[in-house]
Amino acid sequence: MSGRHPTLRLVAALALTGLFAAACGGNAVPAKDQDPGAQLEIWVRKPPGSNTEKTTKELAAKFTERSGVPSHVTALFDDFETKLQQAAAQKQLPDIVINDTAQLGSLVKQGIVREVNRNDIDGQDKLTPASWEAAKGADGKYYGVPNSAQSFALFIRKDWREKLGLPVPTTWAELDALATAFTTKDPDGNGKADTFGYTVPGSTKRGYTSWYFTSFLWAGGGDYFTENNGRFTPAIASDQSVAAVEWFKAQFCVAKSVAPGAATMETTQAHPMFESGKAGIYLTGPYNMARFDKNLGKDKYEVVPAPPGPGGKSASLAEGENIYLMAGSNNQAGQEKFAEFAISVEGQTIGMAGDTDGNIVRLPVNSQVTLSSVRKDTRWEVFDKVYKEAGRYVPAVPDWTPFRQASADTINAIVANCDSNTKQELTKLAETFKQELTKQGVAA
């Protein structure tokens, strides 16, 4: 998940140089400049020094061993997109970028990724259809090769829940009751009112508020848009959407069951709230299990699907990462070879990193990989089931980033101000959506 950054000046500069003029449909550099032995520079959006960086380097090393193509991995995390834009402006783009599926539209808009001919990628037919959808642009063309998929589930303090004699929540009402009990009934038994129900990464930075809330919006029957043959109409101010946001707001303003600081909290601050015993419910991804096992204890929490919304609908934001073949590479053949290795059974197995926290492949996209043969931790199967039964990717608009940021700004403001008028604010957001849809050429 990533944020919104100004790109007009960059795009103009790239257009003037002509370097990336064909980035969205042809070769970015002439064939005579190609060097199949050139080293591939691979950027991955992971913290430097992390186990995920080590896994990426292991994957690249094995690729080089198998293919003979040299490779070098750079792990970047903070301000990744800004640094990528700076590299583009300096005409020093890496050859490969492994980054979120939600970034596809923005990268295409900037003209810094090249189109992928799916049929040219060996092994493409082994990937799940859903994963390929996440690599497809609004124009129906592919601009990445799928590498990883994921969904989200609830991490709940099992020891707290059992101490209070409450069931695993199967409805939103039961979930709220659990959150309230965690807030008011001293589940850690220290005699202090210092625990809360939910930990929420609700910052507007990089659109976190919207990213976190999306699963609940959909489960509540709301939506960002309605779509008809590739044309979109805002649905964010519908009765169902308003009701879902009102429910979210109530956790902040009525039940007061959300851990303090949520409105400015990113995931790097939200994780410790859960593992340090400040909050007992966290909707997050499978990548946190190894961390929480170590820092909290596997026996103290459980992983369960989020309950369906009031209408009985289950939904989870589906995400993942694509391998983006960046424009301007002088080793396009090597780019494709790397993608082919990464999506192979061997590449996916390396990327999954067993049951460790070094995984760069959360759920495999290669249908020939059996999850249980690589990971013995059965909790992964919860996420696999959620992904297959309730997973849903963000709308296939040309560029999702401005919509995510605008909705994050609005929803954050609503929950941060208990006197806000939810319907009124979402109606304004719908108008913003309408203008952006028109700008992107996909308004109904």
**Residue 345 counted as domain residue:** yes
Question: Minimal CA–CA distance to 243: which of 226, 224, 222?
Answer: 222
State the pLDDT at residue 11. Answer: 36
Considering the entire predicted model, what is its pTM? Answer: 0.85
Residue 250 lies in a domain: yes
Match 């709230």 to its residue by tokens. Answer: 273
Q: Are 141 and 113 members of one domain?
A: yes
Pick the closest to residue 130 from 401, 382, 363 (CA basis).
Answer: 363
Neighbouring-strand partners of residue 100? 321
In a domain, 238, yes or no: yes
Residue 74 neighbours by CB under 8 Å, 6+ apart:
41, 42, 43, 44, 94
Contact 348, 423 (CB under 8 A): no
The letter for the amino acid at 79 is D
Q: Are residues 403 and 371 both part of a single domain?
A: no
Structure tokens given for 412: 């954050």
- pLDDT for 8-24, tens place per residue? 333 333 333 333 433 33
* CB burial readout 101-124, b (16+ within 10 A) else e: bbbbbbbbbbbbbbbbeeeebebb
Its domain, for residue 141, covers 8-150+318-392
Shared domain for 189 and 232, answered yes or no, is yes
Q: Kindly compute the dihedral angle of the four CA atoms of residues 401, 402, 407, 409, in this order, to the nearest 10 degrees.
A: 110
| Residues in the chain where the model's pLDDT stays below 70 | 1-32
Any residues with CB less than 8 A from the CB of 352 and at least 6 apart, and which? 359, 361, 362, 364, 369, 374, 375
Strand 153-157 versus strand 301-304 pairing type: antiparallel
In a domain, 3, yes or no: no
Amino acid letter, 405: Q
The number of domains in the chain is 2
Q: What is the pLDDT of residues 22-81, one digit of tens each?
A: 333 333 333 448 999 999 999 999 999 999 999 999 999 999 999 999 999 999 998 898
Residue at 329 is within a domain = yes
- Asked if residue 126 and residue 106 are part of one domain, the reply reads yes
Q: Which residue, chain included where needed, has tokens 């956790």?
A: 251
User: Same domain for 85 and 159?
Assistant: no
Q: Are 287 and 267 in contact (CB under 8 A)?
A: no
Pick from 193, 226, 225, 198: nearest CA to 212: 198
CB 402 within 8 A of CB 433: no
pLDDT of residue 397: 93
Number of residues assigned to the chain? 444
Burial class (CB in 10 A: 0-12, 13-18, 19+), 37: exposed
C-alpha span between 258 and 412 (Å, rounded): 13
Using an 8 Å Cβ cutoff, are 124 and 130 in contact?
A: no
User: What is the pLDDT at residue 35?
Assistant: 96
Tell me, what CATH number does 132's domain have? Answer: 3.40.190.10
Say how many C-beta atoms besides its own lie within 10 A of residue 18's C-beta. 8
Q: Are residues 51 and 101 in the same domain?
A: yes
Q: Are residues 276 and 367 in the same domain?
A: no
Distance CA 85, CA 72 (A): 20
- Same domain, yes or no: 227 and 307: yes
